[in-house]
Amino acid sequence: TTPLSFEQRLAQQVELVRQQSAALQAMAAPVIEVWDRVLVLPVIGAVDRTRAAAMTEALLREVVAKRASHAIIDLTGVETINPDTAGHLMRMVQATGLLGCTCLVSGISPTVARTMIELGLTIDLQIFSTLKSALQHALRSS
């Protein structure tokens, strides 16, 4: 075989980085259909502006694709949240509602709750202490 040219090796590396980036993006915003028309977006770790935008895009896309009646944003894995991210999450809840999907929030930590109150985020949220209780509500309502 002929050795690859520099340009060919570079093109292969660029494609590999693109594929790895797409895989990381999918892991950063996994939307899981747990029941017919019921979705869960588990959020774990830090959420910056870029990840929040990716989560919103993934959730809204799946709400439409699956014709979801309920979407649960599970924040059990989030210890702290910054003001920008809290606002983005609230807009995600609102956007989901505009698509005709009821958005439930579960697993809010005391620190996240305090941040949301300090920011005056008082939109009408359906909040559940655990993912299990949110799922039970969604299944009863479906």
Residue 122's pLDDT is 62
pLDDT digits (tens, 9 = 90+) for 52-66: 889 999 999 999 999
Q: How crowded is residue 66: how many other Cβ atoms within 10 Å of its Cβ?
A: 16
pLDDT digits (tens, 9 = 90+) for 74-101: 999 998 888 888 888 889 999 999 999 9
For residue 15, is pLDDT > 80?
yes
For residue 69, is pLDDT > 60?
yes
Q: pTM for the full model?
A: 0.80
pLDDT band at 47 (very low <50, low <70, confident <90, very high): confident
Which residues, at least 6 apart from 102, have a Cβ–Cβ distance to it below 8 Å?
69, 70, 71, 96, 126, 138, 141
Which residue would you say has higher pLDDT here, 14 or 26? 14
Residue 22's pLDDT is 63
Average model confidence (pLDDT) across the chain: 88
Residue 123's pLDDT is 65
Query: What's the CA gap between 100 and 107, in Å, rounded?
Result: 23
